[in-house]
Amino acid sequence: MKVAIVNDMPMAVEALRRALAFEPAHQVVWVASNGAEAVRKCAEHTPDLILMDLIMPVMDGIEATRRIMAESPCAIVIVTVDRKQNVHRVFEAMGHGALDVVDTPALGAGDAREAAAPLLRKILNISWLIGQQRPSASKTVATPLREASQRSGLVAIGSSAGGPAALEVLLKGLPRGFAASIVLVQHVDQVFAAGMAEWLASASGMPVRLAREGEPPQPGQVLLAGTNHHIRLLQNGQLAYTAEPVNEIYRPSIDVFFESVARYWTGEAVGVLLTGMGRDGAQGLKLMRQQGFLTIAQDQQSSAVYGMPKAAAAIDAAVEIRPLERIAGRLMELFAK
């Protein structure tokens, strides 16, 4: 991977260089000390991946991410030393297309390889996405076995890069007391999931919280997958977290949840696939369509990263392809009280 580092702190740059050195295939192609410099350098030499700091002089990481994704798009991972303080900034950057977030590796504390492992794992995931590759595995589509009886409707939503901002827009378009249940699967580490639920609740006005093990989806509630395990619907109508399948690149996987909805949900349901890089959710959305559920993919023009919706459109998984601002209205038509 050709990697660029955007950070105004020499110690952070050195920590990232040392972490990347554990994987000889990674090459640091340039370093920028602020967002404006990064935008210029990216236009001249676009790397495979940018490790982007959030707080910098001249231009911060949020604006730099927005500019780069508009002018010279490439994969961006936010690197921060203070997750709790910067949680809202992280979601704003992800809304502009950043793929993920990770802590700055500790320099000179404990096992250096262990400290570098989270960053290296995320880079490996992104290399699979960029190359449109997935770990080898055979995916079995099971025959639907529906026993639980859901009287209310369900909206299953999946999103990745650009997702936080897209989810804010979608949820703002729905009224409090929306008649259907909503379950969100966003590619985000569990350390940020609680903060994201709070941010979405305050930004949209909808009641958003983390999904709990063993609870069923509830009308009027927005439940967000909240761990690094996958979330799925069980035969009894309850939600559960599971480590399997271990081969999925992103945790939680949108495909895993969509497929479980297709298998077990007996009421009305809609699958919605929003902005994101890669193909996660496309196959699950297709299975939902095959089971007679309405499926919606975000259109290219309104997507920060037109990867996952494009993959869904390519395999005819989406019944409807809609601009982001028109998805909430469609859901209200379907689930009007």
Residue 45 annotated as catalytic: no
For the entire predicted model, the pTM comes to: 0.84
List the beta bridge partners of residue 79: 102
Q: Cα–Cα distance between 135 and 58 in angstroms, integer?
A: 41
Residue 33 annotated as catalytic: no
Residue 141: per-residue pLDDT: 43
pLDDT tens string for the chain (337 positions)?
999 999 999 999 999 999 999 999 999 999 999 999 999 999 999 999 999 999 998 899 999 999 999 999 999 999 988 766 778 888 889 889 898 888 888 876 678 888 898 899 889 888 877 764 444 443 434 444 444 445 579 999 999 989 999 999 999 999 988 999 999 999 988 888 998 999 999 888 889 999 999 999 999 899 999 998 999 999 999 999 999 988 887 889 999 999 999 999 989 999 999 999 889 999 999 999 999 999 999 999 999 899 999 999 999 999 999 999 999 999 999 997 6
Residue 215: per-residue pLDDT: 96
Catalytic-role residue among 189, 255, 280, 299: 280
Residue 83: per-residue pLDDT: 66
- For the CA atoms of 42, 60, 112, 29, the dihedral, rounded to the nearest 10 degrees, stands at 10
Catalytic-role residue among 26, 96, 187, 229: 187
Residue 280 annotated as catalytic: yes
Catalytic-role residue among 160, 204, 302, 303: 160
Do residues 178 and 219 lie in contact, with contact meaning Cβ atoms separated by under 8 Å?
yes
